Amino acid sequence: MSKIPETALAALSAFEAGTLTPEGYLRALLGRCAELEPELRAWSHLDPEAALAQLAEAPGQGALAGLPIGVKDVIHARGMPRTCGSPIYAGAMSAVDAAVVALGRLAGAYAMGKTETTEFATYKPAPTGNPAAPGHTPGGSSSGSAAAVAAGMVPLALGTQTAGSVVRPAAYCGVVGYKPSFDLIEPAGVKALARSFDTVGVFARSVADAALFAGAVTGLPLLKAAQSPDVPPVLGLCRSPVWDSAEPEMQAAWDDLEGVLRGRVATTEVALPKVYGVAADAHPRIMAREAYQALAYEWHSHRDLLSPQLRAMLDEGRGVSEQSQHEDRMMIARLRQRFAGDLGNTPIFVTPSAPGAAPVRESGTGSPIFNRLWTLLGAPCVNVPGLRASDGRPLGVQVVGPIGSDEAVLRTAAWLAEVLG
C-alpha cells in the first residue's frame, strides 16, 4: 500500500520512468478499495473488471494518460449507473458520457467508478464515512468523491457545487477541493439542480493535481500556475459576512492562521459591503426556486420517492414568484460584475471553508454557510488542508478570488499549501 503514489502527478512520473504501469497502479488502487470500501462506502458503483476494461480503452496519451477518476453519481459515465442518490433512478444506466468525463477521456484518463452523492446533490446523506474523521460526516453533496480521494482509493474525483458541495467535503476530509469559476468546466451531462450556481469541480491530494485535471479539460494553463507557487503581493483575510457562525475551534485556528500569514505576506482585512450578506441570505431561496424547476419531473411524477427534506425545499421553491426570481437573477449579475472592483487591490483572499470540523454523521452533512456567497458570485475557490481541530479532525480554509481569476487562486492556494505543509 505504501508504494502507491500519493498524487496523480507522482503516478504520471512513475509511468514515465517505467517504475509503474497504469494497470499496476489501478490494481493497487483496487486493492486499497477492497480493503477499505466495505466500511467507508465511498463508491456507488465499482466493478474491478469494468475498471480494467475502461483502462484498456483509454488512449494511452494526453495530459492525464493512465489516470483513473472517480465520477460523482449525478454525472453520466457511459456503461455505468447514474442514480443521483435517489430510488427514482435505481438501476438506470448511462449510455453516454457527460462532457467533463468525455474531455477527461480525450486527455487520457478513464472512469474508475461512480462515487456516492446525497439525493440529487442536496441534503439527504449518502452512506459514506469520513476516513479522516471516523464517525463524522464526509460532508455533502460530493461525499463519495471527497472520501475516496482522502482514503487514497483514487487520485482524482469529480464533484459538483451548488452551495458548498466541493469545498466543504474537501475541508471535512482533509483534501484539496477546487470549485472553478462558474461555467469554466462544461456541465453538459450533469444532473442540474440550480442553473445559476451548478459548477463542476475536482477533488485531489494536491493543488497541482486539481489544476492538472481542470487544465486538461479546459485547455487553460492552470497546472503551470499551480506549479509556480508564489507569495502574493498582498493577501486578503476575510472572515466573511457569516463569521458569527464559525465554531470556537475554527475561530481559534483562524486567529493562529492570521498570525502565521502576517509573518510571511502582506495582509489586509477584507470587509465586503452589506449587500453581499443580503445575497448570501438569498442563496437558499434562489437555489430552491431553480431546483423546483430542474426537478420538475421528479416532483410531479415521483414525489413519494423524494425525501421529506427535498420535498419541502421544492415546495418552497414552487412558491417563489417569477418576479422574485427575475430580481434575484439581476442581483446575481450585478454582484458578479462589481465583485472584483469591491475587492480593489486585494483580489485574492482566504476565508473559512466551513464553520468548523466535520460534525457527527447523525447530524447531517454540515452547513454550507461559508460557501454560499462565493458560489453565488461564481468565484473560484480552493480548499487548502493543513489545519486541525484539537481532536485531529481537519479544518479547512479556502482561497477565493473574483470570477475568472482561477490561475491566481490556484497559484496562491499552492503557496498556502506549502505554508501549511
Determine the 3-state secondary structure of 5 from DSSP: coil
Neighbours of 47 (CB within 10 A): 16
CA 63 – CA 107 distance, rounded (Å): 5
Block residue for cell numbers 494518460: 65
- Alpha carbon 326 to chain centroid, angstroms: 28
**Angle formed at CA 226 by CA 388 and CA 107, multiple of 5 degrees:** 115
Q: How far is CA 421 from CA 207, 249, 300, 372, 416, in A?
A: 12, 20, 50, 27, 8
Strand partners, 176: 204
Is 2 among the residues known to form the active site?
no
Of 141, 206, 353, 405, which residue is the catalytic one?
A: 141
Block residue for cell numbers 441534503: 123
Is 124 among the residues known to form the active site?
no
The three cell numbers locating residue 414: 499552492
Given CA atoms 409, 412, 414, 420 in this order, what sign does their dihedral have?
negative
Of 86, 165, 307, 405, which residue is the catalytic one?
A: 165
Confirm if 113 and 156 have CB atoms less than 8 A apart: no
- Alpha carbon 259 to chain centroid, angstroms: 28
**Angle formed at CA 175 by CA 287 and CA 97, multiple of 5 degrees:** 60
Read off the DSSP letter of residue 110: E
CA 213 – CA 209 distance, rounded (Å): 7
Is 324 among the residues known to form the active site?
no
Q: Which of 380, 375, 384 is nearest to 207 (CA)?
A: 384
Residue type, 200: V
CA 111 – CA 55 distance, rounded (Å): 8
As a 3-state breakdown, the chain gives helix, strand, coil percent values, each rounded to 5, of: 45, 15, 40
CA 84 – CA 72 distance, rounded (Å): 9
Confirm if 372 and 332 have CB atoms less than 8 A apart: no
Read off the DSSP letter of residue 136: B
Peptide bond preceding 181 in cis form (omega within 30 of 0)? no
- Residues with a catalytic annotation lie at 72, 141, 165
